[in-house]
Amino acid sequence: MMHILKIKGTGKIPDFVQIRDKNLSLKAYFRADQIERGFKKNDIEDPSGKLKEIIINIPFGKIFKYKEDE
């Protein structure tokens, strides 16, 4: 299971995405407008594109619990 957080940037600071494991340890941190680059840099596989779609659609400031087998 992963926890996905989308953080709204302010002014010069861009929007960011955090992906954390089931213990809320940080696994990935990347800009929200560079999702595919963030996946590649952090060795996250998303062959179905489902994770990318979730990141695009979740609201800022909310924690989304994602189970890979869903």
In this predicted model, what pLDDT tens digit does every residue of 18-61 receive, in sequence order?
999 999 999 999 999 999 999 999 999 998 999 999 999 999 99
pLDDT of 11 reads 87
- CA–CA separation, 46 and 39 (whole Å): 8
In a domain, 44, yes or no: yes
Confidence of residue 68 (pLDDT cuts 50, 70, 90): confident
- CA 16 to mean position of chain CA atoms: 8
Q: Any residues with CB less than 8 A from the CB of 9 and at least 6 apart, and which?
A: 15, 16
* Containing structural domain, residue 53: 1-12+33-62
Tell me, yes or no, whether 28 lies in a domain: no
Does any domain span residue 67? no
29 vs 16: CA distance, rounded Å: 7
What is the structure's pLDDT at 56?
A: 95
> What's the whole-model pTM score?
0.87
Residue 69 has pLDDT above 90, yes or no: no
